[in-house]
Amino acid sequence: MNQPADNPLTEIYRDPWLLVVHKPAGLLVHRSPIDRHETEFALQYARRLNGGEHVYPVHRLDRPTSGLLVFARDAATASVLGKALMAGQVSKTYLAMVRGWAPERGLIDHPLREHATDKRCKGELQPLREASTRYQRLATTEIPVEIEGYPGSRYSLLALYPETGRKHQLRRHMQHISHPIIGDTNYGRTRHNHYFAERFGYSRLMLAATAMAFVHPVTGEPLELRCPPEPSFTQVLSIFGEDIALA
């Protein structure tokens, strides 16, 4: 992995058509009307890695989510890979630390209402879209700390496999099954978020994109991409002990 000293992105993979990087938590992918004051974006840093040439983001990661981010190096490649994503031909794996002991595995098939992208439509009811997420439990732990009235507090480490790509899908689906992601200020539990922020000295969403697999849009060969979570993520996972298996 290659990371220039002045660039927050870590290069994971490069070929003539694709540039794949690790995006740290807290960095926007591109300019957003919601965060008009921000001046730094993954898109501009990826362009630097690409020798100043334009790159095309083919999918998104929420600002607080870290992990794999794929850019195409030309418009034609971006179009082909974008269509593969829309067709469900790209598999993604995320790691998430959630409140409570989740079942060993399951499928969350729960439609999600779209978020209005135009402020003028905020008061209008948005359509429901099909959304499904598979998950597998990797580890559990219980710490002797009272957070919500119980003498101990339980947590799970999950591998999440989204089968659709709705906005905030994983975060909303985890809330739906009452296992919200730690550090989620929109859909999580405030007391648990505060506990981990105080314990580790920083606050972050415990969600990381760690693997992707798809057919290369130009060569037609299978491509599997992986990257470990960043240190701010693995430090929090220390509550599970040393022998946890990261998917």
Tell me which residue has tokens 């979570």: 229
Does residue 15 carry a catalytic annotation? no
In the structure encoding, which two tokens stand for residue 50, read together? 């690409």
Q: What are the distances in angstroms from CA 237 to CA 107, 143, 157? A: 24, 12, 8
What is the distance between the alpha carbons of residues 48 and 10, in angstroms, rounded to a whole number? 12
Instruction: Spot the catalytic one: 6, 35, 62, 184.
Output: 62
| Phi, psi values for residue 128, rounded to 5° | -85, 140
The greatest distance separating any two alpha carbons of the chain, rounded to the nearest whole angstrom, comes to: 57
Q: Catalogue the active-site residues.
A: 62
